[in-house]
Amino acid sequence: MRTVKSYTDQELLDCLKSGDQQAFAEIYNRYWKVMYFHALKMLGDEDDAKDLAQELFATLWTKGTNLPFNSNLSGYLYITARNKIINLIQQKKVRRDYLSALSAFAEEAGNGTVEQIDEKELLLIVEKEIQNLPVKMRQVFELSRKQFLSHKEIATQLGISDKTVKKQIGYAIRMIKLKLDVLTRITIILFFLK
């Protein structure tokens, strides 16, 4: 009797589609190091690469039953890894941009104003603005920024187009920035009125 170690990728994929844990374990054993080193090469950070590889296989397990029957396993893993790498890089860029904006604000407004703005308060304000977004827009935004799903993954999950996802995220960012710009101006005005 054959063991899963002797299965081809296609046979493993077919077994995975029926929820076979042994097939998943064999895919994991076959591809984890390859995917880890691919992520490490792209990200340059061991912890990020490990996290990304783990997340990749978690996604494979949860979505494995929905993969098309003619899927190329290694191709699917590389494409999914690439999308997750791009999302992580974008997420880090957003963080860097956010920190740069705060730094620029600090230089313009002076230390007194910045000391008054507590990071936790700022995060609460941002979260409040996210909750004030229209329901569908908020859902798309949270899937993108909190669960780090790609536009395509969000579109599939919500049954909408990639373009709609992109537009909704863009609108959400503009709305939140607008509210934060107003808040920043008010904070500066209040600071100088003291």
Domains recognised in the chain with CATH numbers: 1-85 (1.10.1740.10), 110-194 (1.10.10.10)
In angstroms, the CA 164 to CA 113 distance is 38
Q: Give the span between the Cα atoms of 54 and 92, in whole angstroms.
A: 19
The pLDDT tens digits of the residues spanning 148-173 come to 888 888 889 888 888 888 888 888 88
Mean pLDDT of the region 4-32: 88
Integer Cα distance of 95 and 90 in angstroms: 9
| Dist. CA 32–CA 61, nearest whole Å | 13
Alpha carbon separation from 189 to 51, 103, 109, 116, 177 (Å, rounded): 43, 19, 10, 13, 18
On the question of pLDDT at 126 being above 80, the answer is no
**Structural contact between residues 135 and 110, judged by C-beta atoms closer than 8 angstroms:** no
Q: pTM for the whole thing?
A: 0.48
- What does the pLDDT read at residue 194? 46
pLDDT at residue 34 in the model:
92
Query: Is the model more confident about 43 or about 70?
Result: 43
Distance CA 151, CA 87 (A): 10
